[in-house]
């Protein structure tokens, strides 16, 4: 079905792999289009095939995504560049709006569009070999897939300015220190730890996880009063679900809960 990505069939934790290792998994229009189609399909899956978590990674051991495809970008007109950027932004919004959490498992370079793609995930696990950066100013450009916005929200405006203006990459350890990534592990432990955490998420009530993701993302840039009202509304709505009744009943009965996303 796809030419540039691989989608595992294992449920409930699905792995999506950007599969252009000879190009260091660089993003082009085809990759962005296929990632968009894949996440749309995963979100539209029926309840019995519901995805509980997605791990997003890159093929090979050198790069998560080394950036956008420079050869393709070099031929773009201003209008085409705007369309390319808009497609990247649509993918980012989709990743934030799907009901399941996304873990970016960064196995190597995450530069430019690769860093921006990782920032669209709910959080980032990084190999000790990973490198992060927004080097677009070295090319006479600027971040175009949300880097000036998501990066500053993740690490603060001052750190974001430093990374964007100077265009210098940072190590996984530095990324952890400034809050860009959530966890740094050895290269061989990256996917096992991402899978283990994904399975932990999969054990939780899926409607509760989806509601929590929605509240966190929508409330983050909202004033506190409105954000707390959003939370209260979502909290109340969960009490009308079978999953909430199952979770409360199972706790009182001292047994494991069997959630059905209903």
Point out the residues that are catalytic. 116, 136
In angstroms, the CA 63 to CA 61 distance is 6
How is residue 237 written in tokens? Answer: 């709505």
The angle at the Cα of 135, spanning 134 to 136, to the nearest 5 degrees, equals 95
In angstroms, the CA 69 to CA 28 distance is 5
- Contact criterion met (CB below 8 Å) for 160 and 152: yes
CA-closest candidate to residue 109, choices 172, 143, 147, 64: 64
Number of H helices, E strands in the chain: 11, 10
- Enumerate the β-bridge partners of residue 106: 126
How is residue 123 written in tokens? Answer: 């959080």
Cβ neighbours for 102, distance < 8 A, ≥ 6 positions apart: 53, 54, 55, 56, 95, 120, 121, 122
Residue 184: burial class (beta carbons within 10 Å; 0-12, 13-18, 19+) = buried
In angstroms, the CA 40 to CA 25 distance is 21
Cβ neighbours for 140, distance < 8 A, ≥ 6 positions apart: none
């Amino acid at each position: 079905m796809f030419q540039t990505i691989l989608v595992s069939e294992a449920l409930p934790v699905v792995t999506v792999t950007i599969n252009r290792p000879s190009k260091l998994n660089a993003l082009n229009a085809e990759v962005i289009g296929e990632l968009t189609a894949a996440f749309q399909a995963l979100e539209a899956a029926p309840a019995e095939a519901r995805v509980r978590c997605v791990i997003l990674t890159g093929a090979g051991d050198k790069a998560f995504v080394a950036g956008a495809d420079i050869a393709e970008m070099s031929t773009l007109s201003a209008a085409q560049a705007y369309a390319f950027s808009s497609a990247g932004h649509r993918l980012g919004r989709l990743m934030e709006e799907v009901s399941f959490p996304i873990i970016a498992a960064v196995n190597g370079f995450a530069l430019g569009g690769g860093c921006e793609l990782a920032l669209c995930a709910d959080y980032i696990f990084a190999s000790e070999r990973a490198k992060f950066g927004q080097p677009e100013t070295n090319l006479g450009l600027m971040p175009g897939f949300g880097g000036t916005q998501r990066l500053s929200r993740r690490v603060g405006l001052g750190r974001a300015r430093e990374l964007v203006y100077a265009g210098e990459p940072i190590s996984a350890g530095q990324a952890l220190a400034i809050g860009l990534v959530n966890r740094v592990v050895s290269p061989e432990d990256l996917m096992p730890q991402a899978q283990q955490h994904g399975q932990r998420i999969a054990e939780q009530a899926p409607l509760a996880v989806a509601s929590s993701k929605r509240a966190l993302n929508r409330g983050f840039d909202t004033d506190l009063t409105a954000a707390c009202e959003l939370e209260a509304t979502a909290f109340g709505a969960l009490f009308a679900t079978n999953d909430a009744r199952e979770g409360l009943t199972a706790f009182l009965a001292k047994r494991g809960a069997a959630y059905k996303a209903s």
